[in-house]
Amino acid sequence: MSEEEINNTLARICRVLASIPSGHVVTYGDLAAMAGFPKGARLAGQQLRKLPKDTKLPWHRVINAQGRLSLPEPRASYQRELLQSEGVSFLKGRIDMAKYRWRP
C-alpha cells in the first residue's frame, strides 16, 4: 500500500468502517473521529457516498447522531433491513444508541 493511499481520506474511513462489528453501529461523527477527523461528520458521509453499491464494507452500520438513518429512500429501507438482519432493532423509527453504539 502506497503512502499516499494510507493518507487518503477514503482509505482511512474504510479502515475504521471495516472494524465495526456486526450488530453495532457508529455515528458519522464517530466514524470520522476514529479515522482522524474529529469534526468531519459530513466528510464521513461524503466518503461513504463514494462506495460502490456492491461494496463488502459495512456501510449500513453508520447512522446519524439522532439514531436515525440519513439515507434517502429507497436506500434507507435497504439499510434498515441489513441492520435488522444482524440484530439491530428499531423502536419508533430510531435505534437505541446506548445499546448498539460501538465504542472500542
Q: Minimal distance in Å, beta carbon 84 to DNA?
A: 16
Q: Provide the binding-site residues for DNA, judged by CB under 7 A.
A: 8-10, 27-29, 37-46, 48-49, 51, 59-60, 62, 64-66, 70-71, 79
Phi-psi group of 103: left, alpha or beta (phi > 0 → left; psi -120 to 50 → alpha; rest → beta): beta
| Residue 73 or 104 with smaller CB distance to DNA | 73
Residue 12 neighbours by CB under 8 Å, 6+ apart: 6, 35, 36
Residue among 9 and 24 whose Cβ is closer to DNA: 9
Among residues 38 and 87, whose Cβ is nearest to DNA? Answer: 38
φ and ψ of 3, to 5 deg: -65, -30
Q: Which is nearer to DNA, 6 or 65 (CB)?
A: 65
Q: Least distance (Å) from DNA to the CB of residue 59?
A: 4
Q: How far is the CB of 87 from DNA (least distance, A)?
A: 19
Q: Minimum distance from CB of 66 to DNA (Å)?
A: 6
Cell of 79: 439499510
d(CA 29, CA 27): 5
